[in-house]
């Protein structure tokens, strides 16, 4: 995630063909409301366009570049069938959590350009991620908490949080600190690492017969080979596909169960902040950003 500002002047013209998204026909009208960090409810403060790259182009902005001095790299995604580009370890953590969550259908980096009016000026914003899950569609901005103490970032986040539902999207802040929470991150990374290989039809039938006989199996039993020499990898693969379930908010110990029954793991949207306004309003006053 680059340090440069993601909003620009009104004369910006995308270098690709515009694929605009109008307000979703069934999207509810979102009532105006006052926000903790300033007035973003002025009549002309609103989202104007969501501009997606054309077919055959996967990103609205280039991420990985050899000329960059800061860390960046590629994440091989089984779910997306390609490598996703990250430009901070925080985004890499987000990829692992989204890859492991069975309710996440698709996710992609630098997915669009959002054009919006704020305080009488036209701006653009590149959200870090687009997530499509069983509960809806979301744009995420990935930032350390320290970088959120900026009045412009907070005003923009409040505006997008309020107005993007008109276009069928939610907008959330995913903090670096939340994305790195253990043991959840380690659990996701282990599931992804162990569940990479595709299963054959014979292996799937063997797993089906195994779980016809019992409703759950412990991580320790899998390590001991109760499902065969590749049983651990097969169980992890089926978790990633949403056919088996494990509580991903907890660590994988010998006593952790992988089960046919869906547990109480939080939905993918819970990884990010439900409301950036609420997040900052709950901070002690001396930690809140200035209200300019």
Structure letter (DSSP) for residue 215: S
In three-state secondary structure terms, 28 is: coil
Q: Is the pTM of this model over 0.85?
A: no
Structure tokens at 93: 């953590």
**25 and 168 in contact (C-beta within 8 Å)?**
no
The residues of the chain that CATH labels 3.40.1350.10 are: 46-180+268-287
Q: Which CATH number fits domain 46-180+268-287: 3.40.50.300, 3.10.180.10, 3.40.1350.10, 1.10.1200.10?
A: 3.40.1350.10
CB distance 86 to 74 below 8 Å? yes
Q: Would you say the C-alpha torsion 14, 20, 22, 26 has a positive or negative sign?
A: negative
Angle at 268 between CA 103 and CA 256, to 5 degrees: 75
Helix ranges, the chain (H): 89-100, 151-163, 176-179, 184-194, 201-213, 219-223, 231-240, 276-281
CA dist 231 and 234 (Å) reads 5
Which helix (DSSP H) or strand (DSSP E) does residue 183 occupy? Answer: none
Q: Cα(84)–Cα(95) distance, rounded to whole angstroms?
A: 8
Rounded Cα distance between 273 and 92, Å, is: 18
**pLDDT by 10s per residue, the chain, length 292:** 434 433 333 222 222 233 344 444 444 333 333 333 334 445 689 999 999 988 766 666 665 554 454 578 999 999 999 999 999 999 999 999 999 999 999 999 999 999 999 999 999 999 999 999 998 999 999 999 988 888 898 899 999 999 999 999 999 999 999 999 999 999 999 999 999 999 999 999 999 999 999 999 999 999 999 999 999 999 999 999 999 999 888 889 999 999 998 865 566 767 776 555 555 555 444 344 444 4
């Amino acid at each position: 995630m680059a340090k440069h500002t993601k909003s620009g002047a009104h004369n910006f013209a995308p270098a690709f063909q515009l694929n605009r998204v109008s307000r979703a026909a069934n999207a509810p009208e979102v009532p105006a409301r006052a926000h903790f960090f300033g007035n973003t409810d002025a009549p002309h403060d609103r989202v104007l366009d969501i501009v997606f790259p054309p077919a055959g182009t996967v990103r609205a902005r280039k991420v990985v570049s050899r000329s960059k001095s800061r860390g960046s790299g590629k994440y091989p995604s089984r779910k997306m069938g390609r490598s996703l580009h990250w430009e901070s370890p925080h985004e890499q953590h987000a990829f692992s959590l989204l890859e492991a969550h069975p309710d996440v259908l698709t996710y992609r980096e630098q997915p669009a350009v959002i054009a919006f009016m704020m305080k009488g000026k036209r701006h653009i914003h590149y959200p870090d991620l687009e997530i499509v899950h069983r509960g809806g569609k979301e744009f995420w901005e990935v930032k350390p908490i320290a970088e959120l103490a900026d009045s412009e970032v907070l005003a923009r986040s409040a505006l997008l949080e309020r107005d993007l539902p008109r276009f069928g999207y939610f907008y959330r802040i995913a903090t670096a600190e939340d994305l790195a929470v253990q043991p959840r991150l380690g659990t996701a990374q282990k599931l992804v690492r162990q569940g990479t290989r595709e299963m054959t039809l014979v292996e799937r039938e063997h797993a089906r017969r195994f779980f016809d006989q019992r409703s759950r199996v412990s991580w320790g039993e899998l390590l001991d080979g109760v499902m065969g020499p590749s049983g651990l990898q097969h169980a992890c693969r089926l978790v990633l596909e949403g056919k088996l379930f494990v509580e991903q908010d907890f660590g994988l110990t010998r006593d952790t169960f992988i089960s046919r029954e869906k547990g109480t793991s939080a939905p993918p949207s819970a990884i990010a902040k439900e409301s950036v306004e609420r997040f900052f309003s709950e901070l002690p006053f001396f930690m809140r950003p200035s209200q300019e």
